[in-house]
């Protein structure tokens, strides 16, 4: 039976959370980010990302640990100080997202500004917010329909960040196809192309399809799919791979 390509990440998240809980008095978010980096490198894992590698990628990857903590283990119930002290960024991003979904755009903007280094609602902060539903989806805590609704609401509520949302839609589709190749669910070019276009339509962004080169970057980086297997499914350009217009948060 095919194991989840995210199984190792979940195991590492549980391990880190155990260490955090038993040392919460003496540990900071920065400490946990460094622990996460070391554990990923030790296990040969890379964060969920495209080709670009931002300097704060492991801080962004904390979203994975947060989703396991809150939605998988409900750690906030017994250890609220862990959520408050370590995952305050993700808690704020989730609050902003919930405000947008309930129609309170101004509150959402206020929350996003409060955690943005530049104190503005910028593409990096919006992308970080969109990482939460993506991680919830890949770990099984959210449906594709729910993710689609979030993309549409955020695109409409924050029109100045529509480009960021479309970029994230491409990232989401690319990640899903890369995972499908890894699992053996997507095995040829014709099915891949149909899957890509159908998913873009289902999400409500029919023109936001990722290039095959971008899919290959994610398949190699996140899932370790061999190049030869990718060539069976993807139409790859010779001499390089695409850099997305805006790196996903």
State residue 229's pLDDT score: 93
- Kindly state whether residue 73 falls inside one of the protein's structural domains: yes
- Kindly state whether residue 25 falls inside one of the protein's structural domains: yes
Name the packing angle between helices 123-138 and 105-115 (round to 10°): 100
Residue for token pair 């989401």: 172
Selected residue with higher pLDDT from 244 and 37: 37
Task: State mean pLDDT over 133-152.
Answer: 95
What is the residue-averaged pLDDT of the chain? Answer: 92
- Kindly state whether residue 241 falls inside one of the protein's structural domains: no
- Kindly state whether residue 140 falls inside one of the protein's structural domains: yes
- Kindly state whether residue 44 falls inside one of the protein's structural domains: yes
Q: Give CA–CA dist 59/36, Å, rounded.
A: 9
How far is CA 118 from its chain centroid?
22
State residue 42's pLDDT score: 96
For the chain, the C-alpha Rg in angstroms (whole number) is: 18
State residue 249's pLDDT score: 61
pTM, two decimals, is 0.90
Task: State mean pLDDT over 172-182.
Answer: 95
What range does the domain containing 204 cover? Answer: 7-233
Is the Cα dihedral 59, 171, 160, 96 positive or negative?
Answer: negative
- Kindly state whether residue 248 falls inside one of the protein's structural domains: no
- Kindly state whether residue 87 falls inside one of the protein's structural domains: yes
**Number of domains, the chain:** 1
- Kindly state whether residue 35 falls inside one of the protein's structural domains: yes
């Amino acid at each position: 039976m095919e194991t989840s390509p995210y199984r190792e990440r979940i195991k590492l998240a549980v391990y880190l959370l155990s260490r955090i809980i038993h040392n919460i008095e003496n540990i900071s978010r920065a400490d946990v980010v460094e622990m996460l980096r070391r554990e990923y490198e030790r296990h040969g894992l890379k964060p969920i990302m495209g080709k670009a590698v931002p300097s704060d990628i492991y801080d962004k990857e904390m979203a994975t640990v947060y989703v396991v903590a809150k939605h998988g283990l409900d750690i906030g119930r017994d250890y609220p100080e862990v959520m408050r002290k370590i995952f305050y960024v993700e808690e704020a991003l989730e609050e902003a997202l919930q405000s947008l979904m309930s129609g309170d755009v101004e509150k959402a903007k206020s929350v996003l500004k409060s955690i943005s280094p530049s104190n503005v609602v910028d593409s990096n902060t919006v992308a970080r917010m969109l990482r939460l539903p993506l991680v919830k989806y890949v770990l099984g805590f959210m449906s594709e329909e729910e993710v689609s609704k979030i993309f549409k609401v955020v695109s409409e509520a924050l029109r100045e960040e529509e480009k960021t949302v479309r970029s994230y839609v491409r990232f989401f589709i690319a990640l899903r196809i890369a995972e499908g190749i890894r699992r053996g669910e997507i095995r040829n070019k014709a099915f891949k192309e149909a899957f890509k276009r159908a998913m873009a339509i289902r999400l409500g962004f029919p023109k936001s399809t990722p290039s095959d080169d971008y899919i290959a970057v994610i398949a190699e980086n996140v899932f370790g799919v061999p190049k030869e297997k990718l060539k069976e499914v993807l139409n790859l350009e010779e001499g390089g791979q695409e850099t997305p217009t805006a790196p996903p948060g």
